[in-house]
Amino acid sequence: MPDVHASMPDPRDPLPVRRLPAEQPSNRHRRALDLAEEAERHRSLLRSAAADYRWRVAQRVSELAPEDQRYYLDEAERLIEQLMIDPVRHSTLDLDAYRAIRDGVPVTYDSAQRMYVLRRPGRDPLPIRPGLAEHRLGVIARLAGLGLRLDQIQVVALTTAQMVAPHEAAVPPRGAPEVLRGTTGFPSRRGAPVTPRPSGLPNSGV
């Protein structure tokens, strides 16, 4: 019988399990999670106002032809989505700046630089430029939290944030039709043929 050295493991003993350290999320992954969480919170703040807006639009177009109803309802959905945080389109959103505006943190206005500045103890001041996504979306979220209607939120957001971030600017369609306003109640258009729509919602207040 061969000699068995004391240092050799007993084959009947279970093999030791090597435990690897828990995988830590990368900075990019953590950033994506934070952005998704804020986007969902932003959407929840607007949920009540969005539901009310959909209902009011539906009531005002209820007597129109079905295709015209769908046109206005689709437009309402597009407006609602424009007020939301999109994790792809807003992938570079500065969450600290957005939260400061949303939560009403006191900021100062630097007239020379034409921007707001958030003073943070022990940290560099955080610039927040009016009109960019952080300011505009923060204003939207704050107004929603205060209970304003969606159309009111849109008006205030547009007047307090008078420019759009370059990376969010919509590219006008090539060959867009020219709109000539007449007195018939229907827009006359030159260029690409389109189906005319009613000039406004019944009892327009939306």
Q: What is the dihedral of CA 84, 85, 86, 89, to 10 degrees?
A: 110
Determine the pLDDT at residue 23: 53
- H or E element at residue 126: strand 126-128
Determine the pLDDT at residue 77: 95
Q: How far apart are CA 101 and CA 138, in angstroms?
A: 5
Structurally, how many domains does the chain consist of? 1
Which pLDDT tens digit goes with each residue over 110-133?
888 888 999 988 889 999 988 889
| Residue span of the structural domain in which 117 resides | 27-162
Is there a domain that residue 205 lies in? no
Confidence at 170, pLDDT banded by 50, 70, 90: very low
Apex 15 CA angle, 12 and 16, nearest 5: 140
Is there a domain that residue 197 lies in? no
Which SS3 state, helix, strand or coil, does residue 11 take?
A: coil
Q: How far apart are CA 63 and CA 179, in angstroms?
A: 26
Which pLDDT tens digit goes with each residue over 27-61?
888 999 999 999 999 999 999 999 999 999 999 99
Q: How far apart are CA 161 and CA 104, in angstroms?
A: 16
Is there a domain that residue 90 lies in? yes
Is there a domain that residue 148 lies in? yes
Is there a domain that residue 173 lies in? no
Is there a domain that residue 105 lies in? yes
Determine the pLDDT at residue 172: 46
- How large a percentage of the chain has pLDDT more than 70? 66
Is there a domain that residue 155 lies in? yes
pLDDT of 180 higher than 60: no
